[in-house]
Amino acid sequence: MLAFTLLVAAAAIQTAAELGRATERYEPANRTFDITVQITHPPYRTRSNFFAEDATGAIELNTFPGEWTKIRAGDVYRLKGITQALSNRIGIVHADCDQAEFLRHEPAPNPRMVSANDFLSGRCLFQRVTLDGIMRNVLMDEIDPNYVYFILECGDERVFAVLATNEDVGTLSGRFLNAHVTMTGCCTRDADSRAYCDYFLNLCSTH
């Protein structure tokens, strides 16, 4: 008598919250997803991370498959793809999109004002938030000059933030250094350990 093993593929992930759990460090990769979400932070370039949310939570995704320059915060998309383990970053799992269907545009969600303690606890992961404090340093990314890091002093805590920009560090330092600023962006993990912190702010705006 022959024994047969029935292999049942895991159902596609259908919510941002479930996809967020599937991209935790060391989670098994190759999970498919099919989610309908609102964009909160569009991508900066073709292979760039971006952020979205639905009623269950928020998520960071990679590699928008289409005309990324047309994406606006507030756009609602149906996104399909698969979680991928990165060979050059041990334990890091990304949600890579391979299909995107634009559904409609809605007003972008308002950011939530948070404290540095809340931000650094990880409770804001992938969410669109606002912090304010004193700008203490402006640094060019040592690997990619299209990115600039900011160090924001919020009381007794310091928060790292990153901005995709073509402006030079000198210009940004002259504008922001030692000034009281308000920053809005999405909380992300420091996958490369270059910000020397667990979480940093992927900036949408600084003023």
42-46, 59-63, 157-161, 201-205, range with the lowest pLDDT: 42-46
pLDDT tens-digit profile of 114-150?
Answer: 999 999 998 999 999 999 999 999 988 777 777 888 9
pLDDT tens-digit profile of 63-77?
Answer: 777 777 788 999 999
Residue 109 has pLDDT above 50, yes or no: yes
pLDDT tens-digit profile of 174-189?
Answer: 889 999 999 999 998 8
SS3 track for the chain: CCCCCCCCCCCCECCHHHHHHHCCCCCCCCCEEEEEEEEEECCCCCCCCEEEEECCEEEEEECCCCCHHHCCCCEEEEEEEEEEECCCCCCCEEEEEEEEEEEEECCCCCCEECCHHHHHHCCCECCEEEEEEEEEEEEECCCCCCEEEEEEEECCEEEEEEEECCCCHHHHHHHHCCCEEEEEEEEEECCCCCCCCCEEEEEEEEC
